[in-house]
């Protein structure tokens, strides 16, 4: 799943490469497009395939693990993308071969009367993501319920928002209603950096551990964003994660203590951690 670091860099690239370009064509590619594209604006504007044509890409921003494309304001016309597990965006030349799992293609015309077109493609091997055409992002499922951004929350607010939760700390970190932008992979990295066991109950964490967790969240995400920027370049369909310390590193040596990294699969989620550096869990695993 693309998370805050990857999606921030996608925004940076699109701001540089596509802002100001005009939508010259929209193709919903079957069969995946019929599953992924949800047109919430069609009753007011007509279908996406015609309503977006002629509109200028005015903005692109990340909110949590969503991307929001502003094609028009007054009234708003937005594309809100939730890539979920396997959705990706790709910049391509019109003649470039498409992936077979392509779901949506926006053909963009260069601004200012310049020649040239560019395709912004969305592909999704598992067709688990969604693309919403809407005038109001609050209509998009789970959007309005998101908490503050993970990189915008102060330590004091972090503490306050933690108090109502009593479950396992990893499960809390990846809940967008708590903080927005963290998924399974970076939760593992943050908890390793903070030396907190992923299955510790929130109620067992002391003040020092909570402060350490907040600091690790910021440091991990900021460092990852820089690394993703360097490795991704303009290839926004990539998800570089070779730099991760523990996530999906089961059986390898912990880069801090040298002991073997453990892995537990539960609730359709893989959790990677170091039992030596992150003591205190009670769940048996590898």
Pairing state between β 22-28 and 66-72: unpaired
CATH topology of domain 155-274: Helicase, Ruva Protein; domain 3 (1.10.8)
Residue 231 structure tokens: 């490795």
Instruction: Find out if CATH 3.20.190.10 is the number for domain 4-139.
Output: yes
Position 147 scores a pLDDT of: 97
Position 285 scores a pLDDT of: 39
Residue 203 structure tokens: 């109620």
Confidence of residue 107 (pLDDT cuts 50, 70, 90): very high
Q: CA–CA separation, 96 vs 256, rounded Å?
A: 44
Residue 38, SS3 per DSSP: strand
CB 70 within 8 A of CB 78: yes
Kindly state the percentage of the chain with pLDDT values over 70. Answer: 98
The domain spans of the chain are 4-139, 155-274
Position 282 scores a pLDDT of: 56
Structure-model confidence comparison of residues 121 and 266, the more confident one: 121
pLDDT at 286 over 50: no
The partner residues of 149 in beta bridges, in order of sequence, read: 180
Q: CA–CA separation, 80 vs 61, rounded Å?
A: 10
> CA dist 94 to 17, 36, 65, 69, 80, Å?
15, 22, 28, 21, 23
pLDDT at 1 over 90: no
Position 113 scores a pLDDT of: 80
User: What's the whole-model pTM score?
Assistant: 0.94
Residue 67 structure tokens: 């991307």
Mean pLDDT score across all residues of the chain:
95
Q: For residue 259, give the DSSP letter.
A: S
Tens of pLDDT along 134-190? 999 999 999 999 999 999 999 999 999 999 999 999 999 999 999 999 999 999 999
């Amino acid at each position: 799943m693309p998370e805050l670091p990857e999606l921030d860099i996608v925004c940076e690239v699109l701001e540089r490469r596509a802002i100001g370009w005009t939508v010259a064509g929209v193709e919903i590619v079957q069969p995946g497009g019929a599953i992924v594209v949800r047109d919430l604006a069609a009753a007011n504007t007509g279908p996406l395939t015609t309503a977006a044509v002629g509109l200028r890409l005015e903005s692109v921003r990340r909110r949590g693990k969503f991307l929001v494309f502003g094609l028009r304001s007054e009234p708003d016309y937005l594309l809100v993308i939730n890539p979920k597990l396997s959705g990706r965006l790709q910049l391509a030349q019109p003649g470039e071969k498409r992936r077979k799992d392509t779901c949506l293609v926006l053909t963009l015309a260069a601004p200012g009367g310049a020649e040239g077109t560019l395709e912004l493609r969305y592909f999704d091997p598992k067709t688990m993501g969604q693309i919403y055409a809407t005038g109001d992002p609050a209509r998009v499922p789970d959007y309005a319920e998101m908490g503050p951004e993970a990189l915008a929350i102060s330590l004091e607010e972090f503490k306050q928002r933690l108090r109502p939760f009593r479950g396992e700390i990893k499960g809390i970190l990846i809940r967008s209603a708590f903080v927005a932008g963290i998924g399974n992979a970076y939760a593992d990295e943050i908890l390793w950096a903070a030396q907190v066991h992923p299955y510790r109950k929130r109620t067992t964490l002391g003040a020092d551990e909570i402060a350490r967790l907040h600091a690790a969240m910021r440091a991990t995400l900021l460092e990852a964003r820089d690394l993703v920027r360097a490795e991704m370049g303009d290839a926004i369909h990539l998800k570089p994660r070779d730099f991760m310390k523990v996530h999906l590193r089961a059986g390898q040596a912990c880069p801090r203590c040298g002991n073997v990294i453990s892995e537990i699969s539960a609730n359709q989620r893989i959790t990677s951690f170091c039992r030596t550096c992150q003591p205190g869990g009670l769940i048996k695993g590898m």
